[in-house]
Amino acid sequence: MLVPYLADMYFPDGSPAADYTTAVRSRASNQLTLLFTDDTGETPADNPITTDEFGTGSFWAAPGDYVSVIAGTVFEYQIEPSFTGPVWPGLWVHTQSVPSVVWTIAHQFGVPPSVEVVFLGQETEADVTHQSVTGTTITFGAPVTGTAYLRR
């Protein structure tokens, strides 16, 4: 199964990574990722990709954990293998493996994202605070582990 990746890439100062060419690599192996032009997987796409004038890069690929580097800034594309929807307008997956009352998440959305928290396989309620346009804090009543899905 292939999913569409459509990522708006912004530098830490908020400016778009417009008109850059960047390789998309697997975080696990640092190998170039096989990209496609659509969901059929019949036509390979160029890798490296080139962002448009708004800093948007797009491609189709298998769900995974990918990275690109533009001018020293790392851009991440994290998609859970079970995810079947389009990767738009952006998805950041945070896995909290050490129990904690407060999860602090740094992301590069440039806007406060919507947040879904999954604990023991179930969506759960938590206090979500956006400290900045690139930082979100999730607070629980007791230390927990789990996964947070942040969407632009």
Q: What domains are there in the chain, each with its CATH number?
A: 3-78 (2.60.40), 91-151 (no CATH)
Question: Residue 40 burial (CB < 10 Å; 0-12/13-18/19+)?
Answer: exposed
- Most distant CA atoms of the chain, gap in Å: 49
For residues 67 and 79, is the Cβ–Cβ distance under 8 A? no
Q: Is the pLDDT of residue 106 over 90?
A: no
Which tens digits make up the pLDDT trace of 118-128?
888 788 889 99
Residue 37 has which token pair? 């032009």
**Percentage of the chain exceeding pLDDT 90:** 34
| Greatest mean pLDDT range, 22-36, 80-94, 104-118 | 22-36
Q: Is the peptide bond before 89 cis (omega within 30 degrees of 0)?
A: yes
The structure's pTM equals 0.54
Asked if 50 and 20 count as a contact pair (C-beta separation under 8 A), the reply is yes
Residue 81 to residue 2: CA distance in whole angstroms = 10
| Residue 11 in this model has a pLDDT that exceeds 50 | yes
